[in-house]
Amino acid sequence: MGATHLPSTEFDGNNLDQDYPAEAVAAGTGAAMVQLLDADGKLRVDQQFSRYAERLNPETLRGFYADMAAIRRFDQEATALQRQGQLALWVPMTGQEAAQIGSGRASKPQDYLFPTYREHGVAYTRNVDLAELLRQFRGVSNGGWDPKETNFHLYTLVLAAQTLHAVGYAMGIQRDQEAALEATAASGGEPAEPAAAVIAYFGDGASSEGDVHESMIFASSFSAPVVFFCQNNQWAISVPSSVQSKVPLSQRAAGYGFPGIRVDGNDILAVHAVTEWALDHARNGNGPVLIEAFTYRVGAHTTADDPTKYRESAEEASWRARDPLERLEKYLRAEGLADEDFFEQVAADGADLAAYVRKTAYDLQAPDIRESFANVYAEAHPLVAEELAWFEQYSAGFADEAESEAGR
């Protein structure tokens, strides 16, 4: 005995401990980040991705702006509807317009997209009726739209579960295409359907879920045509992303053996370019890609959350200076690609959209409870019928609102 210190281990003093200061990770300086349009609306040169941006014509650029403005206006209206008691809950996305519109616009019709529950912007690019999208948040539907029509899957509220669904779907596409190729080769006929890929959306918080780990392993093992699109909006409700990950999230891809790219999530040109590249990579059979869109949730996690309780307003202000709409507006104006009329038209369209959404939201009807019973089995079932009868009797046992008021 009498030892004053423990013997040093063989691991002491070598370079196995990598140094990733949390501040650097949080500030976005821990990894190289693709940026084509800086916060002042100035174009920047990127060896690999500038050529994607150069292909975009002015009309597409104006379309990007109009889409982002529309979805932001919609987001404000839905938040107001929740505050007016018309929605049970709302999940705001303001601040993430570039990440969502940019990636959604990079997808092709044959691609299939799996959202979490905040991808209203992506939904918009996939032609989902935004008023329909409110059905779930009003509590009158379990879904809201037909995913087969839009190739935009239903919102998944179970955190990260959709990443597994997405990889499974991508592996399905892969097998369909192999079968189609064989058939084409055998018959020597027409080429198969256009190659498709899958995007799995998730957030920095979901990245801590085991589902993401499993899905990335499967995707890598089978070279599934899937793009993991992580919107790192810095906050998993009240937990900062610096707690979720000690390394930049994009670097995790290296561990699974596929490319990971961090992109400025508030730069729609960069997001669009990187996503286009990644989807091509996946469609061409080169396997998955992880994109970390470095962005910021300017608002609350949901309408039931109060971000002032866990973060400084100075932080929000610093991110507002990097606003995705402002920088594109500056660029469009500076290059003479859009005039005042255009911006006025965008504002007017936004007001129309808001009025449409407001009116439709009020008109959304609550479904008949009997539908829920009817959807259990394909055919009538005596047990379900019995339960429905019990439920109706039970419900009838309550006094009406009016009755209970009078009884007070």
Partner 1 sequence: MTLKKFTLPDVGEGLTEAEIVSWKVKAGDTVAINDILCEIETAKSLVELPSPYAGTVHELLVTEGVTIDVGTAIISVSEGALDDASPAMPDLAPAVASASPVEQPLYGTLTEDDGGPGSTDPEAPVMNPLVGSGPKADAVKRRPRRNIPSAPTESVAIPAASAMQDTSTDVAPPAAAVPVDLPSPTVPATQGGPAFIAGTISGLVNRVLAKPPVRKIAKDLGIDLADVVATGLRGEVTREDLVSYQSQRDAELDRADGFWGKTGKPQDQRVERIPVKGVRKATAKAMVESSFSAPHVSIFVDVDASRTMEFVKRLKASRDFEGIRVSPLLILSKAVVWAAARNPSVNASWVDTPDGAEIQVKHFMNLGIAAATPRGLMVPNIKNAQDLSLKELALALNDLATTARAGKTPPADMRGGSLTITNIGALGIDTGTPIINPGEVAIVAFGTIKQKPWVLDGEVIPRWITTLGGSFDHRVVDGDLSARFMADVAAILEEPALLLD
- Tell me the catalytic residues: 297, 301, 310
Q: Is residue 86 near partner 1 by the rule CB under 8 A?
A: yes
Q: Distance between CA 58 and CA 385 in Å, rounded? A: 60
Distance between CA 19 and CA 317 in Å, rounded?
A: 29
Q: Which window, 74-82, 94-102, 120-128, 171-179, contacts partner 1 (CB under 8 A)?
A: 74-82
| Residue 311 near partner 1 by CB under 8 A | no
Determine the longest span between alpha carbons in the chain, in angstroms.
85
Contact residues for 345 (Cβ-Cβ < 8 A; gap 6+) = none
221 binds partner 1 (CB under 8 A): no
Min dist. Cβ of residue 204 to partner 1 (A):
22
305 forms part of the interface with partner 1 (CB under 8 A): yes
As measured in angstroms, the least distance from the Cβ of 124 to partner 1 is 21
For position 80 contacting partner 1 by CB under 8 A, the verdict is yes
Give me the residues paired with residue 114 across strands.
200
- Tell me if 388 contacts partner 1 by CB under 8 A: no
Q: What is the β-pairing status of strands 226-232 and 239-240?
A: unpaired
Neighbours of 190 (CB within 10 A): 7
d(CA 404, CA 406): 5
Nearest approach in angstroms of CB 69 to partner 1 is 17
SS3 327: helix
Q: Measured between alpha carbons, how far is 155 from 141 in angstroms, rounded to an integer?
A: 12
Does 336 participate in binding partner 1 (rule CB under 8 A)? no
The residue from 7, 85, 191, 336 that contacts partner 1 (CB under 8 A) is 85
For partner 1, give the closer residue by CB, 11 or 398.
Answer: 398
Identity of the residue, 342 or 356, whose beta carbon is nearer to partner 1 in the bound complex? 356
With respect to partner 1, which residue has the nearer C-beta, 55 or 359?
359
Q: How many other C-beta atoms are found inside a 10 Å radius of the C-beta of residue 38?
A: 16
| Pairing of the two strands 239-240 and 235-236 | antiparallel
- Our finding on whether 393 is near partner 1 (CB under 8 A) is yes
The piece of 56-64, 84-92, 210-218, 375-383 that touches partner 1 (CB under 8 A) is 84-92
Is residue 153 within 8 Å of residue 112, measured between CB atoms? yes
Positions that interact with partner 1 (CB under 8 A): 76-77, 80, 82-86, 88-89, 302-306, 308-309, 355, 358-359, 362, 390, 393-394, 397-399, 401, 403-405, 407-408
